[in-house]
Structure 1
């Protein structure tokens, strides 16, 4: 008899974990505070606000490379099955300064260093000094997330709308409980230190065309202009990005540090986090105009968004140990 599993949290981590466990024959029930089809704008439910490339940009763990290999394998199998919303992008990470390559690049297809790139997006006034390009898996959230939920329920998965905290864990009847709540994790586990929570800003631009490379591939990019042009109040460099989806662009971003108070409310470490960074629009606008000759100002249907990402702690923050 298979053990039954309770997953707390129905964001992308919870739903993905549930579908993977179903593939191994487990009976899975998801408990969630948020109704999945309510269209919530709660910024703490970060799965409503992703871009979303399959790149470990804001995750840290001592075995991150091994975890990323497993993640890539899962998404590649979904891609081979023509899962709705999963595609490939030609993605570029570009810097106006010299930087070292991250370890995860060893897992990327068609990897090219900046010096070997035949073409890449560029800013009209800020020279690119380093970077790389590769083929990247991409999930168009408007299609991918709803179909992932349907896949889970079609395989006899159950979703229970119920708020579960540390005092109610013993009420669950399942054999194993997995915490995938993200920012709600401090309500389920007594941590010794306050969690690191990043606040991210996005600009959704609607009714936009595709952005294509000379090869005809859909492109996306990150661009780091240097701390003197875009940084937090501690002079930590920030980057902007552009992810085209079907009929819209997601422009970002920011990664402002903060934590939670005793009432589970976000406390910023950075006073700049309260306002929408103008670099998100100005830098992206120049790159898009210079590279594709498309004027961002012609698209007037826009939506400014922000959400919170649970990191836990700066080094080895991802917690996958068992209690």
Structure 2
């Protein structure tokens, strides 16, 4: 990874934040023809994780998520297309797999039914994960793109370096941002942006718990496909304190189980309280349903009991901006007369909306600074970036 050892070179755009939103936006800007530099205190999956740095905790499915965002369906469609392109390369840690959204109460088709690939309602209960004592299961399946996040983030950083991007590893404050050597600032700092930039809209965090399970076979359907799911038991059909959605996502290095979404005010220190029944996994308290319900689902469907694996609990903070209003912040303002483009506040939808958000942020950059696109010079392993650059430079139009 390139590091500034002495004087930092001037860049067209300084990208603040090195999570999935930051690295995706920086790549998009480089492909559009801007010189960029990323400023970040941590590199995901290389530096020690902390709950405040959301990216390493992402389940990393590219599917619709609960978030408020202007023109969200357009952002999702762009992200779906680019993740499909990256999956086709076979080298970026992205694949497509069946994903099930299952409930023990009937639900109407979701708004995204026409956006995702292969959407269909489920029919035979035995073909899908379900609790053994469930009377009925409703829902749908579709083909979801999925990022093996440790691999995907590392490959994104390698691509960024190949494009000429530079990473400066240091923390920033409001004052040090004023001195960054660039014409434009792009704020992708997530929850940390609150300490750097003013925002009139409210922020909060959603605490999410996960259990990582090592030492198990990969979970597969009867036809041999890797699969993932979100499952919501009927609240009257489970023991008191066990109600709520759970999920399972297989990675090559571990099985990721969740979930929870506990709202906490940004100004409050979360005291660790978990509604309902909790369980200690390692030295971390997590909602007990994450283990109990998922174990029921996977044991009955695949014959794999997660209790036979090595379990580790953890929790992270999703930065959520103005959930009842404007939502995700993608807009332009200025700091001491210099343009600032904000791209932050994605909550649990950072991976899902990353490329669509990056395209929108790039459009806002072009309103204040002209790119200078040139033929790309990249290493042989990233020659596909030339085709991606052609697409991003000429065809995408996020619109208003």
Calculate the TM-score normalised by the size of structure 1: 0.89
SS of residue paired to 2:129:
coil
The 1:208–1:77 alpha-carbon spacing in structure 2 relative to 1, beyond 3 Å, is: same
Deviation string, structure 1 residues 123-149 (Cα, Å, up to 9, x no partner): 111244421001110001121111111
Matched residue, 2:289: 279
Pick from 105, 129, 137: which aligns with 1:121?
129
Is 2:83 the partner of 1:80? no
The 1:226–1:175 alpha-carbon spacing in structure 2 relative to 1, beyond 3 Å, is: farther
Deviation string, structure 1 residues 19-54 (Cα, Å, up to 9, x no partner): 112111211110102245643121111111222100
Is 2:150 the partner of 1:142? yes
Deviation at 1:117, TM superposition (A): 7.9
Is 2:251 the partner of 1:251? no
Work out whether residues 232 and 238 of structure 1, in 8 Å CA contact, stay in contact via their aligned partners in 2.
no
Matched residue, 1:68: 76
Is 2:320 the partner of 1:314? no
Matched residue, 1:12: 20
CA distance in 2, matches of 1:270, 1:241: 21
- After superposition, residues 178-197 of structure 1 pair within 5 angstroms as 178-197=186-205
Work out whether residues 9 and 32 of structure 1, in 8 Å CA contact, stay in contact via their aligned partners in 2.
yes
Matched residue, 1:21: 29
Work out whether residues 68 and 104 of structure 1, in 8 Å CA contact, stay in contact via their aligned partners in 2.
no
Is 2:225 the partner of 1:222? no
Pick from 146, 162, 166: which aligns with 2:174?
166
Higher mean alpha-carbon deviation, 217-226 vs 113-122, is at 113-122
CA distance in 2, matches of 1:84, 1:117: 34
Q: Which one has the largest radius of gyration?
A: 2
- Gaps of at least 5 residues in structure 1 are none
Work out whether residues 258 and 290 of structure 2, in 8 Å CA contact, stay in contact via their aligned partners in 1.
yes
The 1:175–1:229 alpha-carbon spacing in structure 2 relative to 1, beyond 3 Å, is: farther
CA distance in 2, matches of 1:127, 1:101: 21
Higher mean alpha-carbon deviation, 221-230 vs 66-75, is at 221-230
Matched residue, 1:153: 161
Aligned length in residues: 316
The 1:266–1:87 alpha-carbon spacing in structure 2 relative to 1, beyond 3 Å, is: farther
CA distance in 2, matches of 1:130, 1:140: 28
Matched residue, 2:49: 41
CA distance in 2, matches of 1:103, 1:176: 36
Work out whether residues 257 and 269 of structure 1, in 8 Å CA contact, stay in contact via their aligned partners in 2.
no
Two-structure CA RMSD over aligned residues (Å): 2.7
Deviation string, structure 1 residues 252-288 (Cα, Å, up to 9, x no partner): 0101101222xxx644797539941000000000000
CA distance in 2, matches of 1:42, 1:260: 16
Calculate the TM-score normalised by the size of structure 2: 0.73
CA distance in 1, matches of 2:271, 2:238: 18
CA distance in 1, matches of 2:131, 2:125: 16
The 1:89–1:230 alpha-carbon spacing in structure 2 relative to 1, beyond 3 Å, is: farther
Deviation string, structure 1 residues 55-77 (Cα, Å, up to 9, x no partner): 13143213110110111122112
